[in-house]
Amino acid sequence: MTEGLISDYLLPLDKWGKIGKVHSIFEHSFNIQVEGHLINIANYHEYLSSFGIFLSEAEFEQIFPIIQKDSLVKIRKNQLTFFGFQGIHTLTTCDLQTVSLKVTPIKIERQQLKGIKKILEAEKLVSKIGLSMDEKLQEVIQSLTDDTLDPIDWEGLLNFLIGRGKGLTPSGDDLIVAYLSTLKMFGDSRAEELSSALTKHLTATTDISRAYIETSREGYVNSIFYKLFLDIKNSSKLETINVDLRRLMKIGHTSGKDLSFGFLLGIQAILNKKDKEKEKWII
């Protein structure tokens, strides 16, 4: 990555308020909370959150020693000022490269999509995700990929999935984030239904996971998923897509596998719907 990047989802920085506080701190990242929204500041190699800022190691190390949980952050349109016991530091985001991580509807040949599905199926993701494959989860998967044209019971599905699993981003959340992003990527009308239904479930999970769900409702994904989107959009070879998928699967403990499984379910849902409608495969 370059010296610094910022997701355009965050701009202008003060759109949620002028004052924030440090919400959570990790080894290579921390989150600022502003009126219930999060801004992720990180120094992860080749990874940018959908609601994030990536900083060089030198810049990150100027801020990290200053902050602690609940430290005050003053926010301006293009500035973040951090206040801590060990000093004050101002980050000017004008110096950062603005990038968009928003997926938009794309065209794809049916055979290419089936090729991607085959790669994912070969990974046997069911045995690698952070959810136990019980009868209820099987029912949920069936509903998400069903080839009927009947309305989906989003409330029932989301009551089961949101907040289910361990960690800062529960597996059920990661699954539905990727599933929704896939529907948006291929212009499926169910994306809007799901986005609307998610509104009622945002308080049922962690703050960090809620931030990922909120950004996915607007079409934003992390930089690794976005690279996958771009390569699909550009009709890249399956070998390239395979590399993207392997990078995606490596995220976190199970998050990457959960995201990949949600991507697979989204693909299956789209393929099944097109089969049922017997439409020409052009989105």
* pLDDT value at residue 198: 97
Q: What is the mean pLDDT of residues 126-150?
A: 90
pLDDT (0 to 100) of residue 274: 65
Average confidence (pLDDT) over 219-243: 96
Is residue 273 pLDDT above 90, yes or no? no
Is 23:72 a contact under the CB 8 Å cutoff?
no
Tens digits of residue pLDDT in 11-58: 999 999 999 999 999 999 999 999 999 999 999 988 999 999 999 999
Percent of the chain surpassing pLDDT 70: 95
pLDDT above 90 coverage of the chain, percent:
89
pLDDT at 208 over 70: yes
Give the model's pLDDT for residue 85: 87
pLDDT digits (tens, 9 = 90+) for 57-72: 999 999 999 999 999 9
Tokens of 16: 């949620």
Q: Supply the pLDDT for residue 148.
A: 64
DSSP 8-state symbol, 251: S
- Token output for 208: 């960090």
pLDDT on residue 280: 44
**Residue among 14, 13, 49, 7 at smallest CA distance from 29:** 49
C-alpha to C-alpha distance for 114 and 280, rounded to whole angstroms = 15
Q: What tokens appear for 136 in the block?
A: 């209820």
pLDDT digits (tens, 9 = 90+) for 141-181: 999 998 766 688 999 999 999 999 999 999 999 999 999 99
